[in-house]
Amino acid sequence: HLSIRRQRQMCIRDRIHHHLIMNRNSSGSAITRAITRFDDRLRLARASELALAGRFIEAEALIMTDCHRPSHEGYDLLARIQVRQGRLQQAQGTWEKSLETGGCKKNIEPCLVTLADHQENVLKRRILFWKLNLFLWAIITCLAIWIYLNLL
């Protein structure tokens, strides 16, 4: 479980790292980027472990910390978690954010196409369900009228 306190500690740690490195020479920015990438990779690895264990809320909290805007890999993982939870509309928006932040179209577009196909199939099933319900109600109504008329 990743508590609020632990998230704040991570934010403070990241701010200190960033502040210390930015006050150094120009090589500091390269070090900052390397540390940030490493930290992001660790966070994503841990979030993946949590998601595989079914601990989706904790995984989402780890990806969406207050201090960091997720990378495109983070958005991709978040969208996959949302799909596993059945939150398809949110997953679509998250994948679109991943594309906006530089995500690989080759990996994300098939996910969006599959998601759109799934949503279309769900819509078709719902329409079929309601048509069958309407048909059954019509039959029941006709049967009730027929029985009523035959009893007279």
> Would the pTM of this model clear 0.85, i.e. be above it?
no
User: What values do phi and psi take at 17, rounded to 5?
Assistant: -55, -50
Question: pLDDT digits over 36-85, tens only?
Answer: 778 888 888 888 888 988 888 888 888 887 566 777 888 888 898 998 88
Can you tell me which residue has the tokens 């690989």? Answer: 104
Q: Are 34 and 26 in contact (CB under 8 A)?
A: no
As given in the structure block, the two tokens for residue 104 are 């690989």
* Residue 20, pLDDT score: 55
